[in-house]
Amino acid sequence: MRIGKRPKTADRILKAVREARSICVAGHMRPDGDCVGCQLAVGLALRSQGKEAAVWNEDGVPPAMRFLDPEGLMRKPEPGKRFDVVFAVDAASFERLGEAGRCAAERGLLINVDHHASNTRYGDVNWVNPHAPATGELIYRLFRYGRWPITPRIADCLFVAISTDTGSFQYPTTDPASFEIAADLLRRGANLGEVCRRVYHSHPLRRARLLQHLYNSFRLSKDQRIAWAWLTPEVFRKAGADPLDSEDLIDHLRALEPVTVACVFQEMENGRVRVSLRSKDPRVDVGRIAAALGGGGHAAAAGVRLRAAPAAAERKVLSAVRQALDLAA
């Protein structure tokens, strides 16, 4: 596959990697498939080049994707370490790196590779392309520009990154290059059957219990264009689940025929409310809604964490969503 002219930013990244001895690959809290796939792919590539590479994420690999990391390459951050380079992937802001960012504060160069339009350009080197459907596509291109080997295991990681962030190639951001890159990864050894079985068809029963709660408790606005539900610590306790098991459950609400915007509120133990937003109308940009509330994301998928009482958080978010729907009408 032709990948086009190499941008100068990619040259700077490759030069920094060549000259570094120790590199930390950091990703955002509550990592999704794009984040996990990119972190592991870069970490594996750096180690194959003889680099001292650490892969840090404060929340670890979600259960459905642990097959990508059989050796436990991704670990919790370790305070007190210094790196020549910190390589941040798929994180729209430094704050989204959580403990991984704070622990990597003592470092040389900070590289920021991402595809979120809300990215704050917090790196010393920023390769941010909001038109890329997944950060995994940028990392794939970096591999090709640098002629880094794409082993079957790395191909699996990058395929998961791109597949999950394009909604299995269903989101409108998916473009022809997404399919071309996926095809190339399959040629290079990505195991499509194993990836699909593990990521999409191996959900634990505790996740089913959360989904059951979601279907039993969700509410609809009067015009049925907004659907929302709550996940509380008590719900997780009864299901025997943890917050990582709730990833993408919101898509079941968005898939309901009359719904335009879905919201899932998660009551956290630190006095905050985590809000996930999904839209299936290109005129209703939930990324803008989240950004106005202090969060960020994409037009079709975004999120925010609010320091507010549950009832106040619900009112604030639903009011913002309603305004966006009215403007799009």
Q: Is the pLDDT of residue 154 over 80?
A: yes
Q: Does residue 19 share a domain with residue 127?
A: yes
DSSP state letter for 224: S
C-alpha 52/C-alpha 124 separation (Å) is 21
CB atoms closer than 10 angstroms to residue 118: 19
C-alpha 128/C-alpha 56 separation (Å) is 21
Q: Does residue 323 share a domain with residue 191?
A: no
Q: Give per-residue pLDDT as tens, 161-189.
A: 999 999 999 888 899 999 999 999 999 99
Give the residue from 200, 234, 260 where a domain finishes.
200
Q: Give per-residue pLDDT as tens, 75-108.
A: 999 988 899 999 999 999 999 999 999 888 888 9
Q: Give per-residue pLDDT as tens, 193-213.
A: 999 999 999 989 999 999 999
Give the residue from 166, 200, 234 where a domain finishes.
200
Q: Is residue 275 part of a domain?
A: yes
Q: Is residue 2 part of a domain?
A: no
* Total of domains in the chain: 2
pTM of the model: 0.91
Q: Does residue 195 share a domain with residue 220?
A: no
Q: Does residue 170 share a domain with residue 277?
A: no
Q: Is residue 3 part of a domain?
A: no
Determine whether 17 is exposed, middle or buried from the number of CB atoms within 10 Å of its CB (0-12, 13-18, 19+).
buried
Q: Is residue 1 part of a domain?
A: no
Classified as helix, coil or strand, 81 is coil
The boundaries of the domain holding residue 209 are 205-328
Q: Does residue 320 share a domain with residue 180?
A: no
Strand partners, 228: 219, 263
